[in-house]
Amino acid sequence: MACAGRGGSRDDVAEVGNLHAAIGRPGSGATLDILAPGRVLFGLGAGHTFREWEVIGRQRPSPSDRAGRLVEFADAVARLLKGESVTVDGRYLRLNEARLDDLPVGDRVTLAVGGSNREILRFAAARADIVALSGLGRTLADGHRHEVRWSSEDVRAQVSLIGEASERSGTSPALEALVQVVKVSEHRSHALAELSDRLRGVSPDVLDETPYVLVGTVEEMAAQLVWHAERFGITRYVVRQPAVEAVEQILPLLKDR
């Protein structure tokens, strides 16, 4: 890993981790780009579960602190990946003339920033190549599960916020959704009703329209993806590993759409 510069965190406990995040990880991404030119995607999020913070010996910060920290770090990462020499004297991060040396830079590594916080979405719309929507709200008491923001009104509000911020910045990031449930079924309405019973408080009508759930036959799921692109402008999706096989069956149906 070839990087140069000096940096530090305002919190001594996280100094090594923060330095690694702000300099080492984009350096790793740029290094990987040598092996796979133009195919590296560098993703950043705020760290929403308690466990993510516990493993580095930290208490989970407040939502506003997590959002502010991500914005400071992501801004530094975006500038480093463009080949800039970066100096930051922020609330969460300090860097002094940090840069990536002897590595390919300048829009070769795709930057994705994800979350649901309004500050994060505004920043991502202005600086990221991809804005990744999670559909997640407040973290529940178990530290892993969340309230969901899956209604069409929730999605429209976030997409509108992103659109306004990107228009002000003169940017045009792609919109991506993290699909939380993928289920192949010949009886879509029945499967949606069962899922609604499990989720408690999320109606079948909401599940029918949300981009965070793909349920039905392969043809029905392909139609859902086309509809979400037309309605919300969402053209990219992330699925979990168990769903990859099902999604691979959908892709051929989208080639001519």
Pick the most confident of 60-69, 100-109, 203-212: 203-212
Q: Per-residue confidence at 188, pLDDT binned at 50, 70, 90?
A: very high
Query: Taking 90 as the threshold, does the pLDDT of residue 34 lie above it?
Result: no
Q: Convert 166-186 to b/e letters by CB count within 10 Å (16 or more is b).
A: beeeebebebbbbbbbbbbbe
| DSSP reduced 3-state for 16 | helix
**Predicted model pTM:** 0.82
Q: In what order do the strands lie in the sheet with 174-178?
A: 41-44, 110-115, 130-133, 174-178, 234-238
Rg of the chain over all Cα atoms, to the nearest angstrom: 20
User: What's residue 101's pLDDT?
Assistant: 76
| DSSP reduced 3-state for 95 | strand
User: What's residue 106's pLDDT?
Assistant: 66
Percent of the chain whose predicted confidence (pLDDT) is above 70: 81
Q: Per-residue confidence at 14, pLDDT binned at 50, 70, 90?
A: very low
Torsions phi, psi for 43 (to 5 deg):
-105, 140
Closest Cα partner for 25 from 10, 45, 11?
45
Q: Per-residue confidence at 109, pLDDT binned at 50, 70, 90?
A: confident
Q: Per-residue confidence at 24, pLDDT binned at 50, 70, 90?
A: low
Give CA–CA dist 77/83, Å, rounded. Answer: 10
Query: Taking 60 as the threshold, does the pLDDT of residue 4 lie above it?
Result: no
